[in-house]
Amino acid sequence: MSFGIPTVFVSMATGTQGGALARQLRGLGWNVRATVRDIHQPKAKALLEIGVHLTPGDWDDVVALRAALTGCTKAFIGYTANLLDFEAAPRRARLTVRLAREAGVTQAICTTTLGTAMLDEGKEPLIAPTPLFAQHFASKRFVEQAIEDGGFDSWTVLRPGFFMGNFLDPKVWYGYADVPRKGEWANVMTPDLPLGLIDHEYIAKFAAAAFQDPVKFNGIRAGLVTEELPVQEMLDQLAVAIGDGRTLKAHFMTDEEIDKAVASNSWAVFSRERCVRYMGNLANTKELEKLVPGLTTFGQYLERESELVKSTYLLA
């Protein structure tokens, strides 16, 4: 630990958002501490190599969390969704908040999902989520509430839209595999409505900016979308980036098809949740650009990730 240099606890450090943030904070010369479930896995080793301090343990491991939080004054908090146990994430958030406060953390940032904005006071969704996803959004909202009520000097809530990385390895294999396998994406959007896309590096950039200016970012719930694109246009750009002449086709599901997905209890958001059609309305890219400039377009993202685009689609 170096004197005067902030020390930040980062959850999901081996994951997409947490990993990007850990790298960006280390780039600033800050100290980063995290728990990891398997200290020998390649992503954990990569974190160790850039000087992230790791403690073995998971989100329920009080001893590991307490050790990882030692010396931290800032915390980035987030959890994966658990549709079998909606209580898990709020319970873990309350635990982490308690331990973070005990450790002396004064600033907390949490990351949830754009859908929670539907639950804000005065917001009426144009299309309500199905009961399953209403519970999912409520679970995420409880996580936000735990951070907001945690007694920190500064809190910020990040609500990311649709990850640009959903079509690349590894996320593509969990819900979007038809894109590489069949050249098609069946989805609940309509041809004219744009999808609110987010680059995970921008999520990290936003969090890093907030950590550097706790007063300015205190009390902000930010919907994070860096570009809005109609689905077919997005797939066309992806096909060009793959570069082997293939086409990728959006299949806009009929009402009948969507109802069938809901009845079968499919968990795939974009096969069943009509409410995501208007998710873009929950973010304001112009305001975001003013707050943290440099919103990534999908084109810029694909260019930056060109090697991953090729390995996902040409080596699969």
Ligand X SMILES: NC(=O)c1ccc[n+]([C@@H]2O[C@H](COP(=O)([O-])OP(=O)(O)OC[C@H]3O[C@@H](n4cnc5c(N)ncnc54)[C@H](OP(=O)(O)O)[C@@H]3O)[C@@H](O)[C@H]2O)c1
Tell me which residues touch ligand X (CB under 6 A): 12, 14-18, 36-38, 43, 58-59, 79-81, 113, 160, 162-163, 166
Beta strand 154-160 with 220-224: parallel, antiparallel or unpaired? parallel
CA-to-CA distance for 202 and 213, rounded, in angstroms?
16
Smallest separation, CB 34 to ligand X (Å): 9
Q: Could you tell me the CA-to-CA distances from 199 to 35, 44, 132, 291, 299 in Å, in that order?
A: 24, 22, 27, 16, 11
Cβ 212 to ligand X shortest distance, Å: 21
**Which strands form 227-230's sheet, in the order they lie side by side?**
162-163, 194-198, 227-230
- The CA–CA distances, whole Å, from 146 to 19, 218, 239, 269 equal 23, 15, 42, 25
Of 12 and 229, the one with the shorter C-beta distance to ligand X is 12
Nearest approach in angstroms of CB 44 to ligand X is 7
Smallest distance, ligand X to C-beta of residue 17, A: 3
Contacts 24+ apart (CB under 8 A), 115-119: 115/140, 115/159, 115/275, 115/276, 115/279, 115/282, 116/140, 116/141, 116/144, 116/157, 116/159, 117/159, 117/221, 117/223, 117/282, 117/283, 118/275, 118/282
Closer residue to ligand X in complex, CB, 58/259: 58
Select the residue whose beta carbon is closest to ligand X and give its number: 15
Task: Kindly tell me which of 260 and 304 has the beta carbon lying closer to ligand X.
Answer: 304
- Measured from the CB atom, the residue of 37 and 123 that comes closer to ligand X is 37
Nearer to ligand X, 172 or 258 (CB): 172
Rg (CA), the chain: 19
The span from the CA of 8 to the CA of 23, in Å, is 12
Residue 84 C-beta: closest distance to ligand X, Å: 13
Report in angstroms the alpha-carbon separations of 123 from 119, 135, 297: 7, 17, 28
**Least distance (Å) between residue 253 CB and ligand X:** 18
Closest distance of CB 68 from ligand X, Å: 11
Q: Cβ closer to ligand X: 88 or 291?
A: 88
Q: For residues 4 and 131, which CB has a smaller minimum distance to ligand X in the complex?
A: 131
